[in-house]
Amino acid sequence: MTYLSALLQRPGAVAGTGRDAGVASHYGSPLPEQRALDRGLAVADLSQLGVVKVTGEDRGRWLHSLASQALNNLKPGDSTRSLFLTIQGRIDFDTKVLETEDSTLLITERESAAPLAAFLNSMRFMMRVEVTDETDHWAVLGARKALVEGALTWVDPWPHVGIGGFSYSGPQHPAEDTTWIEQLIPLEELDATVAALQAQGVSLAGTTAVEALRIADWKPRFGAETDEKTIPHELDLLRTSVHLAKGCYKGQETIARVHNLGHPPRRLVFLHLDGSEHTLPEPGSEVHLDGRNIGKITTSALHYEAGPIALALIKRAVDPEATLEIVEESGAKSPATQEVIVSTDAGQVVGRAKGFIKPPTR
């Protein structure tokens, strides 16, 4: 059964598409909604997301053994991010982790929830854990600050470099002073909860606003910036989603080898688009340099202050000072300038006194 949020019945609601199907793309005023959301005056319906619940007394050390992040010492209320990787170090699942008194909640894309639950159940063996797909029971609300008193609240660690993490873009980051909060409420309470917020003066924003702020924060999203070849280094995910000294887990060998001795083949880049075409390039539009295809647009948006912007995945060695050319499927071409997210010398840290790794705690 296709999910449709109760908030799609609100005046002006325009349904989203793709991975954001089932919730509103906007409610009639995309740019004002985005401005309000950025200023902490609006809330976004993200009930299209999935939620997987892990319970049982062994869950911490068990999840720790499977995930890229250290999950064995979480306390109730702790938030982090973690990946589940293939043997080759490619991203299978990207999760937002919230610890509660009696469970670990994994917020993920809706289409990932059932496969993630199935994968985790296949790895239970003799461990005292239970895994359930709770997607049909929870709604997620996103905002710059917590707005629902008493709700389970995940606080995004992005872009701060966590313990055992590493930054490929340096200490300065455009999202350094921003926050992003996701709160879980029972799905049947979604409409009433939002109505109560609106009575307090909080407005509604759609996923168009969420995506624009995400791009401006240089924050990759699973299914948008990832494909079947993506490794975490390409997206600067070592800063929040990987612990480089946590011990063995699936994909760890690739993480260590590329970080210490090699380089990621591609790098995520932030683009300022020319905007002369009056339309945004679709995901998959080619990125060219000197007539050669060197990558692709992954997500684009119209930002209320910065104008047309995008994230793109391009070849690592491309000159960060070069002006790139966006080539759309229609044949339309337009220039774009870069801001470096992942540096051209990312990786190969052995022997280099660079980086921003934080040592593991004892």
CATH number for the domain spanning 93: value is 3.30.1360.120
In this prediction, residue 275 carries a pLDDT of 80
User: 19 and 154 in one domain?
Assistant: yes
In this prediction, residue 170 carries a pLDDT of 72
pTM for this predicted structure: 0.95
User: 138 and 82 in one domain?
Assistant: yes
User: 57 and 177 in one domain?
Assistant: yes
CATH number for the domain spanning 297: value is 2.40.30.110
User: 109 and 14 in one domain?
Assistant: yes
In this prediction, residue 361 carries a pLDDT of 47
In this prediction, residue 358 carries a pLDDT of 52
In this prediction, residue 351 carries a pLDDT of 66
Overall domain count for the chain: 2
In this prediction, residue 1 carries a pLDDT of 63
User: 51 and 150 in one domain?
Assistant: yes
In this prediction, residue 177 carries a pLDDT of 95
| Secondary structure of the chain in HEC code, one letter for each residue | CCCCCHHHHCCCCEECCHHHCCCEEECCCHHHHHHHHHCCCEEEECCCCEEEEEECCCHHHHHHHHCCCCCCCCCCCCEEEEEEECCCCCEEEEEEEEECCCCEEEEECHHHHHHHHHHHHHCCCCCCCEEEECHHHEEEEEECCCCCCCCEEEECCCCCCCCCCCCCCCCCCCCCCCCCEEEEEEHHHHHHHHHHHHHCCCEEECHHHHHHHHHHCCCCCCCCCCCCCCCHHHHCHHHCCCCCCCCCCCCHHHHHHHHHCCCCCEEEEEEEECCCCCCCCCCCCEEEECCEEEEEEEEEEEECCCEEEEEEEEECCCCCCCCEEEECCCCCEEEEEEEECCCCCCCCCCCCCCCCCCCCCC
User: 64 and 26 in one domain?
Assistant: yes
Which residues in the chain land under pLDDT 50?
Answer: 354-357, 360-362
In this prediction, residue 276 carries a pLDDT of 77
Residues 251-274: tens digit of each pLDDT: 999 999 999 999 999 999 999 999
In this prediction, residue 352 carries a pLDDT of 62
> Which domain covers residue 275, as residue numbers?
232-340
